[in-house]
Amino acid sequence: MPRCCATCGCGVTVTARDKYTDETLPYTDIVLTDLNGNIVQSGITNAYGVVVFNDVAEADLIVKGKLYGINLEETSITKDDFKACKKEGNSIQKVIRYGDLNFILKGNVVECNTDKGIQGVDILLKDKIKAGQKNTLSDLDGGFIFHLKQASTYALNGNKDGYFSNEVEVSTSDVDRNKSLFIDFEMCVNPCGQAIKLDNIIFNLDKWDILPAARPDLDYVVKLMQDNPTIKVEMSSHTDSRGSNQYNQELSQKRAQSTVDYLMTKGISRDRLIARGAGESELLNRCADGVQCSENEHTINRRTEFKVVCIN
């Protein structure tokens, strides 16, 4: 611990804390200035919210801080503090407090189904209670920061060339600002061109009509396209290997077209949709023509997928 002596400057230890929760604040910018605003020393608090300044010359000083663009409440160091320091041989201890009433959302954006942080994602934040929006770019590790009002609900969406995201929601209505300053949040973006299975798109035998059970999954695609107005979507229908190749191809094309027609009834433009019948050409397992398979194995191959085509 830095100490003081009669002939040298004093050590100054500054701890940054939240005013309401008293939690310490890592990575807070701290500066010591003279009464004219000139910077004497500067530093950043460590993981425990503490920064140490060594050999600080005796003077009346102001301790200032800033965390994610928000100023902390200033405190002062007086010549009397230096006299006590030199007399007792201990460093000067000061606490500087963060008094902003908003929450800090500490976000992280990753590639979906991985822990890979994605840099350069444009994160859009919309206030769903009071009109307004703001955006920021994720950093090298996929991190981003937003200040959130109390008792509000927000929608977040991420955009980057080659990726798309679903809109996700975060609410501060049930979070007590007296208990927490930070809200940890993770969202993900999907790479374009990746096939995504829709589990509930099931058709009756030899039919291509959209059943009621399929509508929630297709409405999910509608919402995705509304949230990402620059993407196209390819809807693909797949069959198992039973039946002729031609029959399976024609049936799957009709089913794919049915899904596209449904999306169009929800207001999605035709030029953003592609209907693709794959028939039995892209089996997911060994169950090709002539291979004995169980019904469950054949079911794996009967599926509907969508693939996002990003337009740069």
Residue 2 counted as domain residue: no
Kindly state whether residues 265 and 252 are assigned to the same domain: yes
Kindly state whether residues 234 and 282 are assigned to the same domain: yes
Q: What tens digit of pLDDT does each residue of 30-85 get?
A: 999 999 999 999 999 999 999 999 999 999 999 999 999 999 999 999 999 999 99
Kindly state whether residues 302 and 202 are assigned to the same domain: yes
Kindly state whether residues 203 and 121 are assigned to the same domain: no
Length of the chain: 312
Kindly state whether residues 86 and 115 are assigned to the same domain: no
- Per-residue pLDDT at 194: 87
Closest of 59, 47, 49 to residue 94, by C-alpha: 49
- Indicate the pTM of the whole model: 0.81
Average the pLDDT over 90-119 and give the result.
96
Which of 191, 214, 243 terminates a domain? The answer is 191
The answer, yes or no, to whether residue 4 has pLDDT greater than 80, is no
The answer, yes or no, to whether residue 289 has pLDDT greater than 80, is yes
- Per-residue pLDDT at 7: 54
Percent of the chain whose predicted confidence (pLDDT) is above 70? 97
The answer, yes or no, to whether residue 222 has pLDDT greater than 50, is yes
Residue 266 counted as domain residue: yes
Residue 147 counted as domain residue: yes
Percent of the chain whose predicted confidence (pLDDT) is above 90? 80
The answer, yes or no, to whether residue 3 has pLDDT greater than 60, is no
Kindly state whether residues 200 and 269 are assigned to the same domain: yes
The answer, yes or no, to whether residue 206 has pLDDT greater than 90, is no
Closest of 88, 1, 78 to residue 32, by C-alpha: 78
Closest of 4, 3, 29 to residue 14, by C-alpha: 29
Kindly state whether residues 27 and 83 are assigned to the same domain: yes
Cα–Cα distance measured from residue 25 to residue 195, given in angstroms and rounded to the nearest whole number: 42
Kindly state whether residues 237 and 293 are assigned to the same domain: yes
- Per-residue pLDDT at 50: 98
Q: Within its chain, how far is the Cα of 311 from the centroid?
A: 22
The answer, yes or no, to whether residue 166 has pLDDT greater than 90, is no
Among the residue ranges 25-39, 115-129, 136-150, 202-216, the one predicted with the least confidence is 202-216
Domain range for residue 129?
103-191
The answer, yes or no, to whether residue 27 has pLDDT greater than 50, is yes
* Mean of all residue pLDDT scores within the chain: 93
Kindly state whether residues 297 and 210 are assigned to the same domain: yes
Kindly state whether residues 133 and 151 are assigned to the same domain: yes
Kindly state whether residues 115 and 62 are assigned to the same domain: no
Residue 78 counted as domain residue: yes
Name the domain count of the chain: 3
Full 3-state SS string of the chain: CCCCCCCCCEEEEEEEEECCCCCECCCCEEEEEECCCCEEEEEECCCCCEEEEEEECCCCEEEEEEECCEECECEEECHHHHHHHHHHCCCEEEEEEECCCCEEEEEEEEECCCCCECCCCEEEEEECCCCCEEEEECCCCCEEEEEECCCCEEEEEEEECCEECCCEEEECCCCCCCCCCEEEEEEEEEECCCEEEECCCCCCCCCCCCCHHHHHHHHHHHHHHHHCCCEEEEEEEECCCCCCHHHHHHHHHHHHHHHHHHHHHCCCCHHHEEEEEEECCCCCCCCCCCCCCCHHHHHHHCEEEEEEEECC
The answer, yes or no, to whether residue 312 has pLDDT greater than 80, is no
Average the pLDDT over 215-235 and give the result.
92
Which of 45, 67, 98 terminates a domain? The answer is 98
Q: Which two tokens stand for residue 296?
A: 């469950």
Residue 4 counted as domain residue: no
CATH of the domain at 160: 2.60.40.10
Q: Which two tokens stand for residue 281?
A: 């050409």
Cα–Cα distance measured from residue 200 to residue 208, given in angstroms and rounded to the nearest whole number: 14
Give whichever of 128-137, 177-186, 218-227, 302-311 has the largest mean pLDDT: 177-186
Helices 215-227 and 245-265, interaxial angle, to 10°? 60
Residue 5 counted as domain residue: no
**Using an 8 Å Cβ cutoff, are 237 and 259 in contact?**
yes
Q: Which two tokens stand for residue 169?
A: 């929601």
- Per-residue pLDDT at 1: 47
Average the pLDDT over 114-122 and give the result.
96
Q: Which residues contact 14 (CB under 8 A, 6 or more apart)?
A: 30, 45, 50, 51, 52, 53, 63, 65, 94, 95, 96
Average the pLDDT over 113-130 and give the result.
94
Kindly state whether residues 179 and 224 are assigned to the same domain: no
Which of 191, 215, 246 terminates a domain? The answer is 191
**Using an 8 Å Cβ cutoff, are 164 and 231 in contact?**
yes
Query: Residue 239 is which amino acid?
Result: T
CATH of the domain at 267: 3.30.1330.60
Residue 250 counted as domain residue: yes
The answer, yes or no, to whether residue 234 has pLDDT greater than 70, is yes
The more confident residue out of 296 and 3 is 296
